[in-house]
Structure 1
Amino acid sequence: MSMQIPRGTQDLLPGEIEIWQYIEQKSKEICSRYNYKEIRTPIFEHTEVFARGVGETTDIVQKEMYTFTDRGERSLTLRPEGTAGVVRSFVGNKLYGEASQPTKLFYTGPMFRYERPQAGRMRQFVQFGVEALGSADPAIDAEVLALVMSIYYELGLTDIKLVLNSLGDKESREAHRDALINHFKPSIGEFCSDCQNRLEKNPLRILDCKKDREHPLMQTAPSIHDYYTEESAAYFKEVKQHLDQMNLPYVVDPTLVRGLDYYNHTAFEVMAEGEGFGAITTLCGGGRYNGLVQEFGGPETPGIGFAFSIERLIMALKAQGKVPDFGNQLDCFLVTLGDAAKAKSVELLYQLRQAGIRCDKDYLDKKMKAQFKAADRLNVRYTAILGDNELNENRINVKNMETGEQVEVALDTFITYMKEQVEGGK
């Protein structure tokens, strides 16, 4: 019986979890500014949700899903991504019928894919994502792009770039699909088995193959830009115009495709640049998926969204030296000497916490000197010293650990005094 942590998972310990909380809090705060509301969906869904929503020909569905049969003989899958579950919920709860449209949502939580674990790519990982459903306006594409870039910029990242493409509308994609089949078919035997299987089902995904990326036919493959309808070209142009209005820099890459079947029109990635990040530079991916809601039995509803891995974001922050110093985690530590003072500290600790003050005390019966060392290790702002003599005289000593200044405070005003000191120092 193995008691080791499963491969591809990790424990997030105190001292490390703070950066996760910081990212999640900042991301949620920015979403609130853009009027996006949080949604929480189940960690597992019926397998068909992902087979239909992500796409039968994707690596996720074919190779990477954690699927199991429950006691009712139902096939269930741990979610490998967030969009399919959100759209399932959007349709199932008839959010399309609400008066306020578009429906603008964000989510965060663990996802699961059976992949080869490596830096920034785990089998259980955490995504933060956004979905905007109900608008076909190019302005909302630009809004979604601005939102994700705002998250990265406000977290301090600078060496990043927004890479943009358009996959065109249905007519554009069908024409491009036929051109790709004709291009690759005569030499498809030279490609990997995955590419051979994709040729007829979804030839666009051949362009995303990592094994055959250096094949000469990859360099000469037909570009989607040559097959845009007039409407597709105009749509992409307007998205770029909005980005220019906001002075958001971007790079157009005609070879950019997304790994999921539901994308059309706008597709994008945010890439990390600079040294120290590794070979996998994609931080975020997303795009428009105008046909996905219908796949789940809903009305014709356009949508656009993105998702990013918090693990990879943390890698980028560390590589660029942008992880903040979270400073003191405690405002006050109670040091006691004597049984009566020790008993009184339980009451004082409770009162401090009720007043909103982060505090702690010794629970191991340490000597006073060891208690001070514990306070130093915790990097507290104030140390309050209470002995039996001070208790009898209704007083307590408070030491500012930064300045070394120590003052005597009446015990019955201690809580008020500490609240003033802590709030005044924020």
Structure 2
Amino acid sequence: MNGGEFVVSPDIVVIGAGVIGAACAEALSAAGARVTVLDRGAPASGTTAAGEGNVLVSDKAPGPELELAQASRKLWPELLAALAEELGPELADAEWEPKGGLVVATGDESAAPLRDFAGAQRAAGVRADPVTAAEAGALEPHLTKAITAAVHYPEDAQLQPVLAATALLAAVRARGGEVRSGVRAIGIEADAGGAFKAVLTDRGAIACAAVVNACGPWAGAFAADAGAPIAVLPRRGMVLVTAPLPYTVRHKVYDADYVGAVASGDADLQTSTVVESTGTGTILIGSSRQRVGFEERFEVRVLAELARKAQRLFPILARVPVMRAYGGFRPYAPDHLPIIGADPRVPGLWHATGHEGAGIGLAAATGRMIADLYAEKETAVDASPFRVDRPAVIEEVAA
């Protein structure tokens, strides 16, 4: 770009340089497309920067999202290994850690639902191993003794989301694509015959054959600007970060009520206990969910509730100072399924959004699905449940 003008016409423009947009751009460029990625801010500075880096199968009931999660869990280590070979290990390092997860019930009322949920997941091919309270204590020595049921999920993993997005975008650049920050997409342009012509931005028009709306919580706004509104809403989540406490928490550990909070569409505040460590030894404490629009103000009551619940799960945390808190907005679709694919109302417009808090884990498979659909190839996971023209996405926004 010289003097604010775009000088190279890509095949595809991806709007959004978070992990979903980065994964779509990487997969499309790997398939041979020339891709330009735009973001109104810095790459990976929105929802991705506010994520914990979870790559989970443990929190998803049997169905389309679990199938996408299973495919993505398989793809992530393969993709990172391929990027390391292409870019070098340093540029492709995303701190991949297949640490596994531990889900526990601390009350009699949640023990049976946890066991039933795990049984259904096993039938769907998930490794969900019931463990006794003593075995849970061996896996996590600092865990509360008040355990009524526990399930170990060896397939759960974690990565550093900003590093992962950065590695994916580095691959796009290495293949001749571009990544432009500080550029806001404001709509699309069609030719006289109605065929897709260009993406309109505050820095000028970019001629291309197609655009992928990967704007996360802002995807609904761009879709409306493009003439094809979809129901995507922001849902705010908060995370606490403690001072370093190495080797204290070994897995991703959460209370059984987390699954219910993920699946709920309630607009009111919901919190559930999620505790895990990072590579530097700090402890991440979540999680909260609120539909408050794009209100950025921190609420002390939310942070206090997260801390209080985490101490019940890990009493040792009562002695550990909290260094900071951060939060972000996650793209929420009314039926809790991502929106992936072409928009039948506007030729050339594609969507990859609505992953809410699961975007990090689902990104690899989402990018592959977009690339396969664009190339009119068979997808590894049935794409029809994620289609754009389903009632919850189209009819709800019209209402």
Q: TM-score range by the shorter chain?
A: under 0.3
> Using CA pairs below 8 Å that are at least 6 residues apart, which structure has the higher relative contact order?
2
Structure-1-length-normalised TM-score: 0.24
Larger % of helix: which? 1
How high is the TM-score relative to the length of structure 2? Answer: 0.25
